Amino acid sequence: MAQAVHAPHVVVLTSPGVGHVAPVVEFATRLAAHHGVTTTIVTYGSLSSPAHSPSLASLPAGTTISTAALPAVAVDDLPSDAHIVTRIVTVVHRSLPHLRALLRSLLASSPAGVTAFLADMLCPAALAVAEDLGVPRYVFYPSSLMSLCTLLYTPELARTTSCECRDLPGPVVLPGCLPLHGADLVEPVQERANPVYELLVQLGLDYLRCDGFIVNTFHALEHETLEAFKELSDRGVYAPAYAVGPLVRSSSDVAAGGHRCMTWLDAQPDGSVLYVCLGSGGTLSAVQTAELAAGLEASGQRFLWVARVPNDMDNCASYFGGEEDGDDTLGYLPEGFLERTKAVGLVVPEWAPQVEILGHRAVGGFVSHCGWNSALETMAAGVPVLAWPLFAEQRMNAVKLGSEGVGLALRVTAREDDGVVPRDEVAMAARELMVGEKGAVARRKARELQEEARKALVPGGPAHRALAAVVDMWKCAAASPAVAAGAGL
């Protein structure tokens, strides 16, 4: 009797943090809608945040997408100042027994077993579990291919150098990538004495366990990097990379939910508003918040600012936190600022519907931390950027978006003594982006990338073809009795 062939069933393990959860949700939605793939999204009970819920709640009803949460594990033994990546990777390691139990259960109960296992960029330690169970394994990489290349290079960098990254005598030059100053490499490798440094080195080694990289980028954005990576893959240096992006949620009136900022934008002239948002986790100091406010006021530009409660110790303090009280947030702004700017500006505490804002006709520029989700969203909307990187790989992304790379971003300059971007720099950069010659060039580049992002996703486009190639492999695996049953069981 012929064996029944079921639709592929993939399991995607996502790191904590809305910037990791959101692209996984979009990825799973596309797999279901365009390729008939069943997906189980696995999240962590530890370090979860209420901010994750809207992304998971947005999953379309009646699809073949389900969710599962691994039980919480204790991390209270870590130092109070442990790096955010240290916390996440510790949770990943301590949750491996729970993940093994979940995968065993899915292998036994799902009609297709588990066709493939995808681990988020911060979870490659989990690939060993899938390997033990005989399941094909991939890294789901929600950032740029260039940043993946630097993480793959981290073990070699650690072996061949002894200085801090910021003190490297020359740029890091990797095949197909922009030259990067050491200070522009991912922030967790900037301090060798910090335990997170060795975790990043191990991360680069763990990536070598995978059968492929599913990367949230697109061909026109990283053409040279993709070509160079393919050469390395063809030589067996790395597993192949598949550019399936941009994984960006489509704009919807439902998502905006009648937010008051949308009504305010409706009353503004076309292309006149500077949108200011430093990401779901980005936090400024009290001094920097005051300087940003003063600079926006002095710029004379219309603005929509998503503001957060300042934190003088941690520029990613909002990463795991829930929303603060709105009145509390606005209380940290300079005295009289809201009254003086009410004719041209709107300050929204904590959160706003970013995709819908970037897609609004009134928005002409974006002050961004250059998180990769925000970078792709602004490209999809054709909006130029004023880059203000804070942590993670954001400095690298700013280089990619700037004049050295695709050219849609200008850059703010901080003071060397205290790292603060002063108000006059904010005002000058805001005016240049919105009404200056450099801003006009960035705007043209943004529109060009918008068209390339659109073409990547159409049926038959590069991203659609790349994902279809991966799904075809999974369909072949779904027909394998060994994979469906779990060869390592």
In angstroms and rounded to an integer, the radius of gyration of the C-alpha atoms of the chain is 22
Known catalytic membership, residue 120: yes
Start-to-end C-alpha separation, the chain: 25
Write b or e for each residue in 230-251: b if 16 or more Cβ atoms lie within 10 A of its Cβ, otherwise e: eebeeeeebbbbbbbbbbbbeb
If DSSP codes are grouped into helix, strand and coil, which group holds residue 472? helix
Round to whole Å and give the CA distance between 232 and 227: 9
Round to whole Å and give the CA distance between 184 and 404: 13
Pairing type for strands 363-368 and 273-277 reads parallel
Round to whole Å and give the CA distance between 386 and 394: 13
Round to whole Å and give the CA distance between 338 and 330: 9
Q: Helices (H) and strands (E) in the chain — how many of each?
A: 20, 13
Round to whole Å and give the CA distance between 130 and 415: 47
Q: Could you say which of 120, 184, 206, 211 is catalytic?
A: 120
Round to whole Å and give the CA distance between 262 and 421: 29
Give the neighbor-by-neighbor strand order of the sheet with 116-120.
65-70, 38-44, 9-13, 116-120, 137-141, 213-215, 241-243
Pairing type for strands 273-277 and 302-307 reads parallel
DSSP code of residue 334: P
Dihedral sign for Cα 369, 274, 284, 80, please.
negative
Known catalytic membership, residue 9: no
Q: Could you say which of 20, 52, 83, 98 is catalytic?
A: 20
Active site residues: 20, 120
